[in-house]
């Protein structure tokens, strides 16, 4: 691949569309021809299909993932004076839904290996936070497509009596294998969960879209009313809701794509494996030993693992420059990762320079996320000191997302990895 210049986008919506063009156009035409473009048959069927896919009873289509979070949290009864635990390392909407409902976010730092919320720290907060009696809910995010420990989430809900709202915006189709061999999908164990159908998601529309899923009949009924101005019967309003409806055209498109979601997920996993193989050949990476992709059960082992991560991450990786090191994500042997994003960590403050180097050579990247939510100006009132969430702050300086989508070709991956090697060698 040396000397070859390619254009490798971070995501390419057109490649997928070219393969589905006929089905997509037929689906759109059928909606327009029916004359029913809002809350019609396609929305109803998609809600049923997504609920069945996720292993729950109800699906409620809404305008976007952000509204899904806001409405679902309100349906859980969260409001003024309540506190909600979530991760500081995620998209803004995960925390803004808390404040929009009048509650206060409490941030628990992340696991440095998975980027997911550290459940040991969640339990520490539930046991010792000054406002622990007012903590009413937990919003775990299955970040980048990797499932948080669902078995542990169920344990926390039962032990502490709090509500769980799963943010599955990036994880549709991911699963968790329990200690007894039971397999459950992300979104199926919380009091409610949400999906985002933003175009770049693993199941993406050609515009905005979102869905709330739940096994709770009362939560489902509330969400259905709230998305149409709080109305169950037209012009009769039980609560002051909002206008947040998934439209028929997007639902029709999503129903076409849903048929291929399993195939798309397997392709993403294959691409992640290819990345790992290519990085391994270049002697560019350090790998963190892990046991079946499971979080440690106690704080002592968590601290030990964090130290081991830091030590291994700073080792020399086989190239002549001892300052060169990156870390790639593990590919679990189970189905707990659907690789919505393929995020590596770049040490020694070289992340931004690498990103610019890749951009100049036609390779798309992104930074998820350039700062923790606790560092956002709008959350300054929380008075969280710099350095209080060290793993989040470190990840925001080191993480970079590389191209990944089902249509990505092997030679493109080889080019990306070769270009990264060129950067470090240069």
Per-residue DSSP letters for 298-358? SHHHHHHHHHHHHHHHTS--SSS-TT--EE-----SSS-B--SSEEEEE-TT-HHHHHHHH
Choice among 74, 136, 201, 327 that is catalytic: 201
Is residue 224 within 8 A of residue 238, CB to CB? The reply is no
Phi, psi dihedrals of residue 261, rounded to the nearest 5°: -60, -45
> Alpha-carbon distance 18 to 29, whole Å?
17
Domains in the chain, CATH or no CATH each: 13-260 (3.40.640.10), 262-425 (3.90.1150.10)
Token pair of 9 as six digits? 């986008």
Give the β-pairing of 183-185 and 326-327: unpaired
Please give the pLDDT value at position 322.
47
Residue by residue, pLDDT tens for the chain (426 residues) are 556 689 999 999 999 999 999 999 999 999 999 999 999 999 999 999 999 999 999 999 999 999 999 999 999 999 999 999 999 999 999 999 999 999 999 999 999 999 999 999 999 999 999 999 999 999 999 999 999 999 999 999 999 999 999 999 999 999 999 999 999 999 999 999 999 999 999 999 999 999 999 999 999 999 999 999 999 999 999 999 999 999 999 999 999 999 999 999 999 999 999 999 999 988 777 544 333 343 434 333 444 444 344 444 433 333 444 455 799 997 777 889 999 999 999 998 999 999 999 999 999 999 999 999 999 999 999 999 999 999 999 999 999 999 999 999 999 999 999 999 999 988
Q: Does the pTM exceed 0.85?
A: yes
Is residue 1 within 8 A of residue 420, CB to CB? The reply is no
The string of DSSP codes covering 108-137 is -PBPTTT-SB-HHHHHHHHHH-TTGGGEEE
Q: Check if 201 is active-site.
A: yes
Please give the pLDDT value at position 202.
99
Please give the pLDDT value at position 282.
85
Please give the pLDDT value at position 426.
80
> Alpha-carbon distance 324 to 344, whole Å?
14
Collapse the DSSP code of 214 into the 3-class scheme (helix H, G, I; strand E, B; otherwise coil) and give the result. strand
């Amino acid at each position: 691949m040396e000397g070859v210049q390619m254009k490798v986008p971070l995501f390419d919506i057109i490649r997928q569309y070219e393969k589905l063009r006929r089905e997509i156009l037929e689906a759109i035409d059928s909606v327009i021809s029916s004359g029913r473009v809002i809350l019609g048959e396609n929305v109803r069927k998609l809600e049923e299909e997504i609920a069945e896919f996720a292993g729950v009873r109800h699906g409620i289509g809404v305008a976007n993932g952000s509204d899904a979070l806001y409405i679902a949290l309100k349906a859980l009864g969260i409001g003024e004076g309540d506190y909600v635990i979530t991760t500081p390392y995620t998209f803004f909407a995960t925390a803004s839904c808390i404040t929009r409902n009048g509650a206060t976010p409490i941030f628990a730092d992340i696991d440095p290996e998975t980027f997911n919320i550290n459940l040991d720290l969640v339990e520490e907060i539930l046991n010792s936070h000054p406002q622990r009696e007012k903590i009413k809910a937990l919003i775990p995010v299955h970040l980048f497509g990797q499932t948080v420990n669902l078995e542990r989430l169920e344990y926390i809900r039962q032990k502490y009596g709090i509500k769980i709202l799963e943010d599955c915006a990036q994880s549709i189709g991911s699963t968790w294998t329990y200690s007894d061999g039971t397999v459950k999908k992300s979104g199926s164990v919380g009091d409610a969960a949400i999906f985002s159908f933003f175009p770049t998601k693993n199941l993406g529309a050609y515009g905005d879209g979102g869905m709330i899923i739940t096994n709770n009949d009362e939560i489902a009924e509330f969400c259905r009313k709230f998305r149409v101005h709080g109305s169950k019967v037209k012009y009769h309003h039980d609560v002051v809701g909002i206008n947040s409806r998934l439209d028929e055209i997007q639902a029709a498109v999503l129903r076409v794509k849903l048929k291929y979601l399993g195939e798309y997920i397997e392709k993403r996993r294959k691409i992640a494996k290819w990345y790992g193989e290519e990085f391994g050949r270049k002697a560019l990476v350090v790998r963190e030993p892990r046991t079946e992709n499971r979080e440690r059960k106690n704080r002592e082992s968590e601290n030990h693992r964090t130290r081991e991560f830091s030590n291994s991450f700073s080792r020399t990786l086989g190239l002549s420059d001892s300052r060169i090191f990156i870390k790639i994500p593990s590919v679990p042997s189970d189905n707990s990762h659907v690789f919505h994003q393929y995020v590596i960590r770049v040490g020694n403050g070289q992340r931004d320079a690498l990103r610019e180097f890749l951009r100049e050579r036609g390779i798309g990247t992104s930074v998820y996320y350039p700062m923790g939510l606790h560092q956002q100006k709008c959350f300054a009132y929380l008075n969280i000191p710099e350095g209080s969430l060290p793993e989040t702050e470190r990840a925001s300086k080191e993480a970079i997302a590389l191209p990944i989508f089902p249509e990505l070709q092997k030679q493109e991956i080889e080019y990306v990895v070769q270009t990264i090697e060129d950067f470090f060698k240069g």
